[in-house]
Structure 1
Amino acid sequence: MMLPAPNLDDRTFQQLVDDAKRFIADRCPTWTNHNVSDPGVTLVETFAWMTDLLLYRLNRVPDRNYVRFLDLVGVRLFPPVAARAEVSFRLSAQQDATVRIAKGTVVSTRRTATERAIEFTTMADLDIVPARSVVVASSVDGETLRDHTRELGFGSGFACFDERPKAGDALYIGFDRPAPSLIVLLRFTCMVSGHGIDPLRPPLRWEAWDGRRWSRCSLEQDTTNGLNTTGVIELHLPRTHGVRDVGGVTSAWLRCRVVERRGVPAYRESPRIVSVVGAAVGGDVDAVHGAQVAGAVLGISEGVAGQTFRLSQVPVPTTSEPIVIEVSADDTRRNALPAGLPSASPAALPTTAPTGSVAVPAGDGSAPDSPDGNGNGSGAGTETADGWSVWQLVDSFASSGPDDRHVMVDPTTGVVGFGPLVRLADGSVRQYGAVPPKGSVVRVRPYQTGGGRIGNVVARSLNTLRSSIPYVAAVYNRQPASGGVDGETIEEAKVRGPLALRHRDRAVTAEDFEVLARQAAPETARVRCVVEESGQDAGAVRVLVVPRAAGADGRLALTELVVPDTTGEAIRGYLDARRVVGVRVSVEPPRYVGVTVVARLRCAATAHPDRVREDALTALYRFLNPVSGGPDGTGWPFGRAVHVGDVFGVLQAVSGVAYVDEALLFQANPVTRERFSRVERLDLPPTSLVFSFEHQIDAVRAQAAG
Structure 2
Amino acid sequence: MSTPAATYAAPPRLLQLAVNASAAHHRRHRTVSGADLQDQIGAWLRLPGQHLVLPDAADRLLEATLRLAGQEWRPAPDFTFGSPADRIFVLDRAEGALVFGDGLTGRIPHPDPDAHIDYATGGGRIGNGGMTGNWLPAQDLPGAVSAANLVRAEGGTDPETVTEARRRAAASLGEVTRAVTAEDYVTLARATPGVAIARAYPAVGAHPGFPCATVPGAVTVHIVPAAPRDDLTREDFVAAPLPDPGMLRAAAAHLEQARLLTSEVFVRAPRYREVTLRVTLSGDPADVTRVSTALAAALRRFLDPLVGGEDQDGWPFGQPLRPSALLRAAQRALGDLADIAAVAIGLDGADAVEECDEVPLGAGELPVLRTVHTRIVPAVEPGEGLV
TM-score range, shorter chain: 0.5 to 0.7
Q: Is the 8 A contact 2:206 2:214 kept in 1?
A: no
* Distance apart, 1:648 and its partner CA: 2.3
Structure 1 residues 288, 614: CA separation in 2 closer, same or farther (over 3 Å shift)? Answer: closer
Is 1:633 aligned to residue 312 of structure 2? yes
Over residues 593-643 of structure 1, what are the superposed CA-to-partner deviations in whole Å (9 max), with x where a residue is unaligned? 2211112212456x3222111111112111111111111211111221111
In 1, Cα distance between the equivalents of 2:233 and 2:217? 36
Q: How does 1:366-405 map to 2 (within 5 A)?
A: none
Over residues 85-144 of structure 1, what are the superposed CA-to-partner deviations in whole Å (9 max), with x where a residue is unaligned? xxxxxxxxxxxxxxxxxxxxxxxxxxxxxxxxxxxxx5x7x6xxxxxxxxxxxxxxxxxx
In 2, Cα distance between the equivalents of 1:701 and 1:544? 45
Q: How does 1:248-327 map to 2 (within 5 A)?
A: 289-290=15-16, 291=18, 293-299=21-27, 301-303=63-65, 304-306=75-77, 310=123
The one-letter amino acid paired with 1:666 is G
Q: Pick the aligned partner of 1:609 from 288, 298, 311.
A: 288
* Distance apart, 1:577 and its partner CA: 3.0
Secondary structure at the aligned position of 2:325 is classed as helix
* Distance apart, 1:689 and its partner CA: 1.4
Q: Pick the aligned partner of 2:140 from 309, 315, 340.
A: 340
Structure 1 residues 305, 536: CA separation in 2 closer, same or farther (over 3 Å shift)? Answer: farther
Q: How does 1:104-123 map to 2 (within 5 A)?
A: 122=1
Secondary structure at the aligned position of 2:282 is classed as strand
Q: Is the 8 A contact 2:276 2:352 kept in 1?
A: no
In 2, Cα distance between the equivalents of 1:412 and 1:688? 41
* Distance apart, 1:683 and its partner CA: 0.6
The one-letter amino acid paired with 2:365 is S
The one-letter amino acid paired with 1:302 is A
In 1, Cα distance between the equivalents of 2:146 and 2:262? 50
Structure 1 residues 339, 566: CA separation in 2 closer, same or farther (over 3 Å shift)? Answer: farther
Secondary structure at the aligned position of 2:258 is classed as coil
Is 1:687 aligned to residue 367 of structure 2? no
Match of 1:505 in 2: 177
In 2, Cα distance between the equivalents of 1:512 and 1:681? 31
Structure 1 residues 665, 499: CA separation in 2 closer, same or farther (over 3 Å shift)? Answer: farther
In 2, Cα distance between the equivalents of 1:667 and 1:614? 21
Match of 2:350 in 1: 675
In 2, Cα distance between the equivalents of 1:641 and 1:561? 20
In 1, Cα distance between the equivalents of 2:280 and 2:310? 23
Match of 1:442 in 2: none
* Distance apart, 1:309 and its partner CA: 6.1
Over residues 518-562 of structure 1, what are the superposed CA-to-partner deviations in whole Å (9 max), with x where a residue is unaligned? 222573322222322674854222222112231744789667502
Secondary structure at the aligned position of 1:695 is classed as strand
Q: Pick the aligned partner of 1:651 from 323, 326, 330.
A: 330
Structure 1 residues 703, 532: CA separation in 2 closer, same or farther (over 3 Å shift)? Answer: closer
Over residues 188-222 of structure 1, what are the superposed CA-to-partner deviations in whole Å (9 max), with x where a residue is unaligned? xxxxxxxxxxxxxxxxxxxxxxxxxxxxxxxxxxx
Q: Is the 8 A contact 1:603 1:701 kept in 2?
A: yes
Match of 1:519 in 2: 191
Q: How does 1:225-244 map to 2 (within 5 A)?
A: none
In 1, Cα distance between the equivalents of 2:290 and 2:280? 14
Structural RMSD (CA) = 4.5
Question: Greater CA deviation, 643-652 or 545-554?
Answer: 545-554
More strand by share: 1
Structure 1 residues 571, 592: CA separation in 2 closer, same or farther (over 3 Å shift)? Answer: same
- Normalised by the length of structure 1, the TM-score is 0.31
Match of 2:217 in 1: 539
Match of 1:623 in 2: 302
